[in-house]
Amino acid sequence: MSDEVVLYSSPMSRGRVVHWMLEEAGAPYRYEMVDLETRAHKDPAYLAVNPMGKVPAIVHRGVVVTECGAICAHIADAFPAARLAPPVGSPERGAYYRWIFFGATCVEPAVIDRMLARPEVSRPSALSYGSYEDAVATLEAALRPGPFLLGQHFTAADVYVGSQVGFGLMVKALEPRPVFQAYLARVQERPAYKRFMEKNDQLLAKMKKAG
């Protein structure tokens, strides 16, 4: 079976996280454009891949994987030569899972709720992230020792959480605290990030020209 990863994505979407991850992993991949402007993500052909009608999704070794955090974790394991995940069962693996899941269940909803200025809820303790302030303070404390979430070793957790920090700062839903800015600058210096950005810009230009 081919080891090629098929990435269904759009250059202005969360699919950017997975595109960067594929470059970090050195994985063979094919980019399938799903144009959100033309609502291609709601076409029956794409809904057969991801019934949520959302990007990104990947198909790898015959299996569909959705959800950016899960995709990053899967790619790290499937392409171990890039050493983007600590060994299964190691103490570091626990921390690695912690920050990927924290990204998905705390950072992302806290940042999106703030960006959308969603009204306060009557029972914040029922929210997975509790309060925006607690989620952001916890993220800052996790990033402060540096250089990466797990210390010296860059992992898939940094691709995922680094992408969220980048998005949060861009839309001003995260305060530009020095810890966030320094971490973002560090992860964006990586050659794989630069390769991804260059390819993403080309895809964006191609999409605009076609549309």
Ligand X SMILES: N[C@@H](CCC(=O)N[C@@H](CS)C(=O)NCC(=O)O)C(=O)O
- What are the residues binding ligand X (CB under 6 A)? 13-14, 36, 41, 53-56, 67-68
Q: How far is the CB of 167 from ligand X (least distance, A)?
A: 9
Shorter beta-carbon distance to ligand X: residue 67 or 92:
67
Q: How far is the CB of 69 from ligand X (least distance, A)?
A: 6
Instruction: List Cα–Cα distances, 45 to 53, 177, 195, in angstroms.
Output: 10, 43, 30
* Of 72, 65, 62, the residue nearest 16 (C-alpha): 72
Whether 184 contacts 166, CB under 8 Å? yes
Shorter beta-carbon distance to ligand X: residue 42 or 83:
42
CA 80 – CA 78 distance, rounded (Å): 6
Shorter beta-carbon distance to ligand X: residue 14 or 27:
14
Q: How far is the CB of 60 from ligand X (least distance, A)?
A: 15
Shorter beta-carbon distance to ligand X: residue 25 or 36:
36
CA 189 – CA 112 distance, rounded (Å): 25
Instruction: List Cα–Cα distances, 1 to 8, 13, 59, 62, in angstroms.
Output: 19, 29, 12, 8
What torsion, rounded to 10 degrees, do the Cα atoms 5, 187, 96, 20 define? -10
Residue whose C-beta lies closest to ligand X: 54
Q: How far is the CB of 115 from ligand X (least distance, A)?
A: 12
CA 172 – CA 158 distance, rounded (Å): 20
Shorter beta-carbon distance to ligand X: residue 70 or 81:
70
Shorter beta-carbon distance to ligand X: residue 51 or 146:
51
Q: How far is the CB of 150 from ligand X (least distance, A)?
A: 21
Whether 147 contacts 135, CB under 8 Å? no
Q: How far is the CB of 8 from ligand X (least distance, A)?
A: 10
